[in-house]
């Protein structure tokens, strides 16, 4: 058995209690069947008697040797260390330092009985140490200052706010039992209220009103001095502060000050301020209980408006619609005012404040007014010049004389009386004018009074389409297949009309039967018809007269003669050529006939190449036998010799040369082979080719007959010959070898002007011309020194 007792802290020292946690079960080996429950050891915190013996533990087992006691756990060998120790010989457990319950309120340790060799003699036993609380901590408010509010005129018992505090001592003891109290009250302004207005619940800290008389206009706020104490109000204490603001309620209605005003407004102006009205309100400035809202009670036309200036709370009166001095020169307005927030039921029962505003309208010179803008006119496009379109379009409020004019009339279709403003048509309108959009023509009229004030308005003229033009038939020529049958053969015709709907389509087509007995017209739709023969007609040209009418009012018609060719047609419905008609083949050219045509073309090309080759050889032979480039076989006409150039175009880059068909009589062809113009097989030399682009049989200009002896005059000689050839209507076409004819442009070859050099022939070496190829061989022969 063991017993335990808590240590005593009386002035008289008591003996230390001994615990026997290990039970002896007889002789020999000690066997522990179950652990004994040891009551906690209580130790007072903040004890100044340290080291202090707490308890002694002892084993009742008889050992032959020495018993060593050990202790481990928090406060011994674990954090917080060195708070407790045990005498290893006697088993006395003692505290080494004062304990703080607020840090560690319990410790659980284990005690061991060991042999000197470290062998366990007993099972370890658990020892619990409980630290007892002392009132060593003052309570404290959770905030340095509490802030709350309460509405003015609140009844007693109205909850205002709650305060709170804490105590670090054991909450299970009286050391942490708190009590709240109010120990002081101050009003702001000072001494505005002297009686106690607030109370506090000593257990919960809830603050409430205790008395009546909270008027924000008298007192703005309160400062309360609070106290918190532990041990139910008998222990340690602390102080705190609570600020309570008295909040405003709308218990004061706004009042006009003064109640009547006089203001001036200028006519014909809007959206401008004409004056302000003032109100007073004793409620809290800047709140909705103070902010005023104004009304005008007698403005049915909405000419005026009033708003609130948020900074001054004044009512700002403005004119929102132009006033007319001539119509009314004075207005008397009745104003009302109230707060944005509804008035409290605790406010005095007073009537709503009103004010009277007398507004005087000031006259000013006004610009003329149009009776309507835009001025709308609907008129036929073919209206007669001088027709009155509209009148009485404007007036002047000041009864001044007016002058009218058009500031915009792009087509000059309108006239206006400068004094009366009567608008009339100067000439007929044209719907096809670029200034007419969607049948609407727009002009601008300007009116000015005697003081120079002016106004403008648009004149919108809607033009009504009239039937001014008859329709015209299209096409006026065509073809119809012979023998195709009435249902398949015909010429489709239509009509165009310069008028616009509804004065144009649908069109009506009809025949003039006295002139076109063998033809009929069949209406296809509103815009097209088909011309068809009534009988089988022979191939040839026919003239058919057709009448076409529109749908206008009145109806307008026109006659047209259509030239129709009746012909044999191919499978596609197209007229055949003369050759095709002769062959009469309806399926096209046969394959054998196509082979014959291709062989004929190939033979002609072969003959053409042979003729060119023969002509080229003859020219080369002729140049070798001659004495110069410009000396021909004939002394009478040197033009016969220029064909030896064998040139058909301008230059190597000639892209501007063109061909002109030749006119010649094949019966005049010579029988001598090779006597043809180069490039034109079949055209004899003796028969000059003719041009289709100039009249025939006109006298030719005089050509230079012989080349100059001096080479320096060659340039003049060439220019004279060129001018004569250009003016000669009888010369061959441009693609023949003309005398010094046009040789194109853009050639890479250089200029030949160096031929007309000022030096003599003996000073020049022309042997290099022989190295330039066959194109310069002619020039090299001219200056051959041999």
Task: Summarize pLDDT for 487-515 with one digit per residue, the tens.
Answer: 557 889 999 987 778 878 899 898 876 66
Same domain, 178 and 274: no
Statement: residue 105 has pLDDT above 60: yes
* Of 672, 674, 717, 724, residue with least CA distance to 699: 724
Average pLDDT estimate for 91-101: 86
Same domain, 483 and 561: yes
**CATH code assigned at 419:** 2.60.40.60
φ, ψ of residue 95 in degrees (nearest 5)? -90, 140
* Of 197, 295, 215, residue with least CA distance to 251: 215
The confidence band for 422, taking pLDDT boundaries of 50, 70 and 90, is very high
Instruction: Tell me if residue 662 falls in helix, strand or coil.
Output: strand
Whether the Cβ atoms of residue 342 and residue 426 lie closer than 8 Å to each other: no
Report CA-CA distances (Å) from 748 to 657, 690, 744, 745, 755: 17, 32, 11, 9, 18
712 assigned to some structural domain: no
Please enumerate in sequence order all residues whose Cβ is within 8 A of that of 626, keeping only pairs 6 or more positions apart, or say none: 632, 644
Question: What was the pLDDT predicted at 553?
Answer: 80
Residue with tokens 């006659």: 559
193 assigned to some structural domain: yes
Give the integer Cα–Cα distance in Å for 708 and 629: 12
729 assigned to some structural domain: no
330 assigned to some structural domain: yes
Write a three-state SS string for 449-465.
CCCCCEEEEEEEEEEEC
Same domain, 114 and 150: no
Question: What was the pLDDT predicted at 382?
Answer: 81
Tens digit of each residue's pLDDT (9 = 90 or more) over 333-389: 999 999 999 988 888 888 899 999 999 999 888 788 899 989 999 988 888 899 998
Same domain, 523 and 445: no
Statement: residue 474 has pLDDT above 70: yes
| H-helix segments, 398-488 | none
Report CA-CA distances (Å) from 32 to 69, 124, 637: 18, 11, 164
Same domain, 347 and 266: yes
704 assigned to some structural domain: no
Same domain, 301 and 332: yes
Domain boundary at 203, 223, 247, which?
247
Same domain, 203 and 126: no
Tens digit of each residue's pLDDT (9 = 90 or more) over 209-251: 999 989 988 999 999 999 999 998 899 999 999 999 999 999 8
Give the integer Cα–Cα distance in Å for 204 and 228: 11
Residue with tokens 């002609």: 604
Domain boundary at 522, 552, 567, which?
567
Question: What was the pLDDT predicted at 538?
Answer: 85
239 assigned to some structural domain: yes
To the nearest whole number, what is the mean pLDDT of the chain? 78
Q: How many helices (H) and strands (E) does the chain have?
A: 4, 45
- Tally of domains in the chain: 5
CA dihedral over 735, 739, 742, 748, signed as positive or negative: positive
Six token digits for residue 726: 């250009």
For the chain, the farthest-separated pair of C-alpha atoms sits apart, in whole angstroms, at 178
Same domain, 499 and 551: yes
Tens digit of each residue's pLDDT (9 = 90 or more) over 289-316: 999 999 999 999 999 999 999 999 999 9
Domain boundary at 362, 391, 424, which?
362
Question: What was the pLDDT predicted at 89?
Answer: 85
Same domain, 486 and 554: yes
Same domain, 115 and 151: no
Structural domain boundaries enclosing 353: 255-362
φ, ψ of residue 159 in degrees (nearest 5)? -70, 135
Tens digit of each residue's pLDDT (9 = 90 or more) over 252-280: 999 999 999 999 999 888 999 999 999 99
Same domain, 410 and 328: no
781 assigned to some structural domain: no
Residue with tokens 């309120």: 105
774 assigned to some structural domain: no
Same domain, 147 and 241: yes
Higher-confidence residue: 145 or 514? 145
Question: What was the pLDDT predicted at 266?
Answer: 92
């Amino acid at each position: 058995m063991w017993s335990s007792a808590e240590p005593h802290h009386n002035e008289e020292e008591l003996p230390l209690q001994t615990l026997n946690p290990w039970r002896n079960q007889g002789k020999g080996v000690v066997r522990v069947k179950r652990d004994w429950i040891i009551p906690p050891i209580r130790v007072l915190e903040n004890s100044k008697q340290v080291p202090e013996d707490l308890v002694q533990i002892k084993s009742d087992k008889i050992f032959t040797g020495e018993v060593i006691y050990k202790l481990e756990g928090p406060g011994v060998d674990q954090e917080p260390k060195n708070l407790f120790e045990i005498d290893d010989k006697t088993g006395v457990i003692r505290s080494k330092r004062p304990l703080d319950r607020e840090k560690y309120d319990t410790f659980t340790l284990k005690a061991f009985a060991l042999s000197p060799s470290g062998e366990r003699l007993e099972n370890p036993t658990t020892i619990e140490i409980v630290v007892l609380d002392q009132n060593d901590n003052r309570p404290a408010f959770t905030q340095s200052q509490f802030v709350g509010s309460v509405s003015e005129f609140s009844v007693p018992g109205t909850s205002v706010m709650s305060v709170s505090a804490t105590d670090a001592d054991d909450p299970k003891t009286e050391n942490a039992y708190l009590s709240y109290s109010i120990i002081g009250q101050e009003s702001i302004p000072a001494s505005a209220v002297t009686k106690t207005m607030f109370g506090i619940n000593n257990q919960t800290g809830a603050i409430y009103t205790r008395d009546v008389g909270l008027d924000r206009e008298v007192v703005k706020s309160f400062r309360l001095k609070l106290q918190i104490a532990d041990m139910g109000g008998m222990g340690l204490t602390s102080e705190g502060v609570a600020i309570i603001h008295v909040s405003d309620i709308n218990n004061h209605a706004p009042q006009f000050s003064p109640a009547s005003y006089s203001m001036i407004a200028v006519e014909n102006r809007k959206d401008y301020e004409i004056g302000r009205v003032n109100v007073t309100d004793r409620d809290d400035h800047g709140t909705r209980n103070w902010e005023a809202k104004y009304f005008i009670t007698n403005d049915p036309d909405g000419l005026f408006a009033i708003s609130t200036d948020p900074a001054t709370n004044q009512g700002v009166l403005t004119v929102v619609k132009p006033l007319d001095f001539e119509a009314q020169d004075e207005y008397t307005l009745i104003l009302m005012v109230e707060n944005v927030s509804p008035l409290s039921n605790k406010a005095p029962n007073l009537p709503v404040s009103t004010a009277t505003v007398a507004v005087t309208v000031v006259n000013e010179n006004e610009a003329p007014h149009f009776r309507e803008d835009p001025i709308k006119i609907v008129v036929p496009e073919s209206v007669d010049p001088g027709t009155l379109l509209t009148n009485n379009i404007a007036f002047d409020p000041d009864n001044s004389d007016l002058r009218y004019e058009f500031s915009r009339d792009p087509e000059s279709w309108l006239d206006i009386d400068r004094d009366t403003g009567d608008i009339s048509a100067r000439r007929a309108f044209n719907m096809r004018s670029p200034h007419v959009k969607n049948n609407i023509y727009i002009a601008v009229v300007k009116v000015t009074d005697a003081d120079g004030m002016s106004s403008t308005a648009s004149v919108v003229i809607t033009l009504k389409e009239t039937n001014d033009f008859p329709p015209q038939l299209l096409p006026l020529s065509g073809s119809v297949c012979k023998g195709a049958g009435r249902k398949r053969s015909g010429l489709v015709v239509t009509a165009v009309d310069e008028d616009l709907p509804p004065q144009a389509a649908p069109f009506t087509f009809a025949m003039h039967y006295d002139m076109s007995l063998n033809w009929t017209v069949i209406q296809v739709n509103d815009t097209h018809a088909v011309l068809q023969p009534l009988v089988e007609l022979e191939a040839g040209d026919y003239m058919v007269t057709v009448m076409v009418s529109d749908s206008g009012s009145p109806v307008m018609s026109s006659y047209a003669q259509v030239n129709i060719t009746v012909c044999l047609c191919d499978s596609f419905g197209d007229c055949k050529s003369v050759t095709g008609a002769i062959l009469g083949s309806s399926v096209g050219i046969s394959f054998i006939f196509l082979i014959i045509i291709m062989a004929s073309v190939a033979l002609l090309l072969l003959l053409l190449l042979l003729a060119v080759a023969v002509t080229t050889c003859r020219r080369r032979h002729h140049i070798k036998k001659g004495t110069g480039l410009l000396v021909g076989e004939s002394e009478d006409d040197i033009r016969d010799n220029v064909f030896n150039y064998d040139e058909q175009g301008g230059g190597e880059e000639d892209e501007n040369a063109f061909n002109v068909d030749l006119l010649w009589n094949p019966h005049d062809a010579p029988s001598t082979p090779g006597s043809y113009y180069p490039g034109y097989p079949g055209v004899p030399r003796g028969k000059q080719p003719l041009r289709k682009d100039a009249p025939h049989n006109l006298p030719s200009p005089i050509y230079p007959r012989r080349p100059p002896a001096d080479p320096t005059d060659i340039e003049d000689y060439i220019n004279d010959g060129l001018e004569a050839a250009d003016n000669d209507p009888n010369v061959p076409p441009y693609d023949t070898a003309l005398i010094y004819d046009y040789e194109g442009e853009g050639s890479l070859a250089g200029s030949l002007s160096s031929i007309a050099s000022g030096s003599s022939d003996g000073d020049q070496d022309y042997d290099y011309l022989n190295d330039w190829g066959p194109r310069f061989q002619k020039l090299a022969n001219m200056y051959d020194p041999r």
